Amino acid sequence: MTIENISVNKSFGGWHKQYSHQSKVLNCAMRFAIYLPPHVSSGQKVPVLYWLSGLTCTDENFMQKAGALRIAAELGIAIVAPDTSPRGEGVANDEAYDLGMGAGFYVNATQAPWNRHYQMYDYIVNELPNIIEAAFPVSDKRAISGHSMGGHGALTIGLRNPERYSSMSAFSPICNPVKAPWGKKAFAAYLGKDKTAWESYDSSELMRKATLFIPAKVDQGGADDFLKDQLKPEVLEAAAKINGYPLQLAIHEGYDHSYYFISSFIEEHLRFHDQHLNK
């Protein structure tokens, strides 16, 4: 797999880099960002945190706004931030912000015209890590995190692949997409009318049925405009209690859905993952 470097910036003794590559899974060119902490300069292989962003975002939002690089440099954790969907000429799209480009929802689409490109689940779980582990000085120790739509993706991917990740976390995730307007719209388009297929991408359903557990951390802003109708953390919390799942869930009063919220608590998330990546 050939990857092409787009940009390089030194940060906290490490390096933030952007790359493009041709994705076989998504049938289009894709871009990702990676932060390599200073530890790699001595030849050390470091663990990786995969960050999945939310609706309308790209690889740049988290790297520029979250304030995560200082802590990643201290802890010796690489961070990989992929794009949120396939893009480019010939890729199916919709005029609305919550479907199509920028809104891949981290599923494998089964319905035309989306199924030709929108295989974000396979891209995140298999293709991208294979590229990262072949091209960079990283280990096969992985954690996964994300925000909003990306929080949904991080939790569902972690729950479906507990053998691949040491831990998972999310900010303001869409916890019960089969019952949320964003999820209903996207799943109907990408997955079709059979709602049983939707449940395999619903973190609350997956957590309730899980048999293998990995540590999970979720933070939610209490003043989030999307809290009641779209995010539904209380459903995830109920699922965890039913199953005895090791979920840490906190509601932070006054915080909204923005990167002001993420940047306030990102250090806690990175230190949470560090504890489990280094076990």
Bridge-based pairing of strands 46-52 and 78-82 is parallel
Active site residue 122: no
In the block, residue with structure tokens 């979720």: 218
Using alpha carbons, select from 137, 131, 102, 174 the residue that is nearest to residue 23. 131
Give the largest Cα separation in the chain, rounded: 52
Positive or negative CA dihedral for 197, 86, 219, 246? positive
Compute the C-alpha angle 125/126/132, nearest 5°. Answer: 100
Given the residues 257, 269, 273, 274, select the one marked as catalytic.
257
Active site residue 148: yes
Given the residues 202, 219, 224, 274, select the one marked as catalytic.
224
Given the residues 85, 148, 166, 204, select the one marked as catalytic.
148
Active site residue 224: yes
The strand pairing partners of 49, in sequence order, are 79, 143
In the block, residue with structure tokens 């539904």: 232
Would you name the residues annotated as active-site residues? 148, 224, 257
